[in-house]
Structure 1
Amino acid sequence: MTDGDAGSDDTAPGPLPDDVVAVRDALVSWYETDHRSYPWRETEDPYEILVSEVMSQQTQLDRVVDAWRDFLDRWPTVADLAAADRAAVVAFWSDHSLGYNNRAKYLHEAAQQVRDDYDGDFPTTPEELSELMGVGPYTANAVASFAFNNGDAVVDTNVKRVLYRAFDVPDDDSEFERAAAKLLPDGESRVWNNAIMELGGVACRKKPRCDEEGCPWREWCHAYATGDFTAPDVPTQPEFDGSRRQMRGRVISTLKEYDELGLDELGPRVRVDYAPDGEYGREWLSELLSDLADDGLVEVDGDDEALARLRR
């Protein structure tokens, strides 16, 4: 993704970083390098995508894969589903433990609407897709995004968690929607919505895996810097007193206040029990700084007389 792919205004007032283009590029690059493989991510068929979205509303994605394939083997096109006996569709749903059976009824009726009202061709916008039976705003937007690259920014629970933690977006639906819309690159809803939902599902889970999953937003992330990983769906702060995560956050917060600091100036600001030759001394701090340098967050020059600074 390049500057030319982004919207006309790439500066971000409010909680978002100033360089929105860099934030976008980092996430898309991370997603395209490695992400979970699901068969519905390999198709642009709106029917196949709608089936996956309805199935995943109450079922873990890994469990949806077999059911999705079985469903499409039996009813491979929207016309096949529209012509099917509704009782057979409901029975399939029940046999595969896919949640409320009325979802199967609605999916069958939506297929008939596509056949009868749209001459077998799916509508392409979130607004039109919302007219299909059982298709709410989120599902309509997902189908528009993944099938037609024509959606708005997805704002689900995972995305709210990511925005709240990464950019300190207030816990308010209108604020989440504003921030999500600002981040969405023009004309790239397919890759963007997949990428930000993958970030929430893999790295920024309720119990975060920032370093393990190589989160691409660590350098901007408020939670990563402070060690506070609470979120709207994570109401209690995880235990981190004295943890390496907390110490990393203190290093980042301290270096934000100073151009650079020597180890023995930085150490006491990170731990009150810092002693140059002690358990929590230069060796311990140097290892912590090395980790942060490997993550591209700080720069360190020298050895015992080293100076540490935030990477610009």
Structure 2
Amino acid sequence: MNETASRERATLRLLDAHQVRTLLTHESALEAVREAFVLHSRREGRVFPVVREALATGGVFGIKSGDVAGQGLLGFKAAGFWPGNRAYGGEPHQATIALIDPATGRPLCIIDGNAVTTLRTGAAGGLALRALARPDPAQLCVFGTGTQARIQVDFALRLCPSLRAVRYVRADGQRHAAFEAHFAGRCDPVLARDVNAAVSESDIVITATPGNMPLFDANALRPGTHVNCVGADTKGKRELPEGILGQVRLFVDDRAQAQQIGETQWAPGTPCTEIGDLLSGNETFRRAPEDITVFDMTGLALQDLTAARILYERAVAEQAGTTLPWPW
């Protein structure tokens, strides 16, 4: 086939949320995210500057992009948060991922980014628990009951079999029947009435809210606790109390990004370690019993790209998704 004919027969593959959930398992999400962190640590993958802007509509729009030259991998995720979607039963978080051929600039695959973001962020939290939390956590406290709170707890239960108690905190202080039912048979989630007590009695604390104020008092964190911070992903957002970062061992996915839009923006001079450096072996960490560890996770474009590569390869192999003629 000559080059002209090849261009005319080119196609674009589309993968919707159902297809993503079918093709991307928890195990493959862990594999993809671990690979992304290691690529970032070795500087074999690039993370381009993040776009994150407020909109006149009340939403927040962002673009995370990057490439892995050695894998011919290039792409971006356009995503954001539209709180008004709740009024008509829609998901506030919206995301779309595009894989691009780095040799030609031609789009190869468009993927539902919500499903990918959910799994890859949950996997990032799970990898942090493996690397940073005490080896025998028994109690967990989660702030939030939305999609990301659920996937964080899901990965925690999968990777920390010693967990036996889960307390959850909601802004309105009311029980959430759907959240409790989601984990039926795996644990017995209980609404926390006293937030600080729930934090102080927990080995793992997960903050997964859209808020912009501290969720608990600094003195509630006890020695030995690990905290996964998920919600702070935009300038002005925060979930941790003032001054706490100076008292902990701080880990981030990307140092510059965490200082710009993560929890670390509130104490940008705090010494920190990129988690990819632990996973690649460039750094070591041995938890002391009194250590309080925090993982400030802002999400890397490389996580989306490695997950998208797995999805695209499996979709092509299994003839999954929808293909459209896309001559160029």
TM over 0.5: no
- Report the structure, 1 or 2, having the larger strand content: 2
More helix as a share of residues:
1
Considering only CA atoms, is the larger Rg found in Structure 1 or Structure 2? 1
